[in-house]
Structure 1
């Protein structure tokens, strides 16, 4: 390789890459934890080094020029290689001290992880835990989290996954809420009930209708993207909503809205990056989560 032909600084290339991905200097500066003027100087220096314009300003944002688009493909590959170097280096650590980030849905973060993390902290006080509570899928390859708790099985070959349990969810409401709709004894009776929906409600609506409920958008007068807000609305009697069975069955304010309806089952996968799995710190947390989740009470009908 002719090293003399490499005419730019990687830090400047990184500044260009993050700016292109974030769409503005201010957003890129926040992502990198640096001052915006410093970042801007790095991008400008890269343009000077390469002798090309990389961005055009459009409104308050930045748009890649044709030269920037061509360069982006190569710099992104460099960024992924740099990430792999960082992953390999962190994987060499045998220390059980440090931070491990875990991403899970809002419901799992609020109702499933707390007792497990409390037990983990007692067993491994040197490990700090960051919980990323989001319903969006975080990118483990980009180190947006170390470990993820997910329902769909990942297909990325760079990730390792272990199915740790099977989850279930069903419909819940307060007794007063259910009384407003009259007896709900058959699937067709549910068409006169009101439900709490999600922001992207089509999957829930289609899933319920596959069970013969015959619902329309009018059955969902209240919607929210936040699952925890949805659950609070259910507990306040606003409508019928979906919750994990081991959470809903343990909530005294509600009961199953349709006991005759079989719960919705789904697998629970624990996921980590293949290289990160060699890190002792991450491996300890991964195995601890796997053991704890595998021994959770299996979902089933409520106790009589």
Structure 2
């Protein structure tokens, strides 16, 4: 059997791990038709069906699942090579991507980006505004600001400090409804929550806030959307202090509850620690978050 083209193997690996042709095409900087042709070419060379095609959706076939276990090691090795090469780039040019939640990206990061631009004007910074945990192994981001500790091999993190989240409402909402001062009053205060309300409710319950799933009247998978609903006077939601302090027209509710403790972690991959541009951005982010 002739040697397989790595580009074809890489196309299969990206599509299988990222779950769709569109996501894999973006990751590999290819057009979707090109990626699709590479998948078909690989299936032709192997003489097997790697994906089951249901309409426009792809799902791994049993053969594809079995072969993925073998190619994952090759993909990890290629990612490690890319990370090592990026970490050895000494110039303060190029791109650094920072991942943070959408609300953090919109309300907190701009101040930090302003300083980065002043200290490294030739550097390009890409903000990945996502509430999902970006996979630093796959280079979805170089640096991540997260509220949980790193849980993957070779990811390194520094717990910068802890912050707090509190419940807020707009001035207009308070004028119409008054200020809730107890948990019982909070549960009947047009609560707005994040999607996966069961998990969110369980988290609040674990913090000593006995709110039920049925208490939430509005939900979104976007923190920015939730916060905009609050600003428009549609209800009450929990938000990080740093975000609320940068938002005019909102009031912290004087509840008989402690603040919700939220750790702030700065995370990157070991392979990038030696990069001057990564170190510079990490230092600025760390110093600015500590100052805030």
Distance 2:220 2:230 in 1: 12
User: What corresponds to 2:92 in structure 1?
Assistant: 96
Check conservation: 1:160, 1:273, Cα contact below 8 A: yes
Alpha-carbon distance in 2 for matches of 1:23, 1:156: 20
Distance in 2 separating the partners of 1:210 and 1:13: 45
**1:167, distance to aligned residue in structure 2 (A):** 1.2
What is the alpha-carbon distance in structure 2 between the residues aligned to residue 186 and residue 33 of structure 1? Answer: 52
Q: Which of the residues 284, 289, 292 maps onto 1:293?
A: 289
Superposed counterparts of 1:260-271, under 5 Å: 260-271=256-267
Change (3 A) 1:147 1:24: closer
What SS does the aligned partner of 2:3 have?
A: coil
2:148 counterpart of 1:131: no
**Quick one: distance in 2 between partners of 1:255 and 1:26?**
42
Counterparts in 2 of 1:161-240, with a 5 A limit? 161-182=157-178, 184-209=180-205, 214-240=210-236
Q: Distance in 2 between matches of 1:123 and 1:53?
A: 52
* 2-structure distance, mates of 1:252, 1:35: 43
Deviations 1:3-61 (A, max 9, x none): xx772111111122223335555654444332444434433443344344433433333
> How many angstroms apart in 1 are the aligned matches of 2:281 and 2:94?
11
Matches of 2:158 and 2:241, distance apart in 1:
22
Contact 2:108–2:242 (8 Å) recurs in 1: no
1:50 is aligned to 46
The gaps in structure 2 that reach 5 residues or longer are none
SS in 1 for 2:249: coil
Task: Go from structure 1 to structure 2 and tell me whether the alpha carbon gap of 1:8 and 1:245 turns closer, same or farther (over 3 Å shift).
Answer: same
CA displacement 1:119-160 (0-9 Å, x = unmatched): 110011111111011111110000000000000111223111
Q: How does 1:19-58 map onto structure 2 within 5 Å?
A: 19-22=15-18, 25=21, 28-58=24-54
Q: 2 CA distance for matches of 1:266 and 1:22? A: 29
Q: Which residue pairs with 1:76 in the alignment?
A: 72
Greater shift, 187-196 or 166-175, is seen at 187-196
1:85 is aligned to 81
Q: TM-score, normalised by structure 2?
A: 0.89
Aligned in 2, Cα 1:159/1:191: closer, same or farther, shift over 3 Å?
Answer: closer
RMSD over aligned CA atoms reads 2.5
Query: What is the count of residue pairs matched by the alignment?
Result: 292
Supply the distance in 1 between the matched residues of 2:191 and 2:155 (Cα, whole angstroms). 37
Who is 1:256 aligned against?
A: 252
Q: What per-residue deviation string (whole Å, max 9, x for no partner) do you get for residues 255-292 of structure 1? A: 11125422111110000001011111111111221122
Normalised to the residue count of structure 1, the TM-score between the two structures is: 0.85
Q: For structure 1, which runs of at least 5 residues remain unmatched after alignment?
A: 297-304
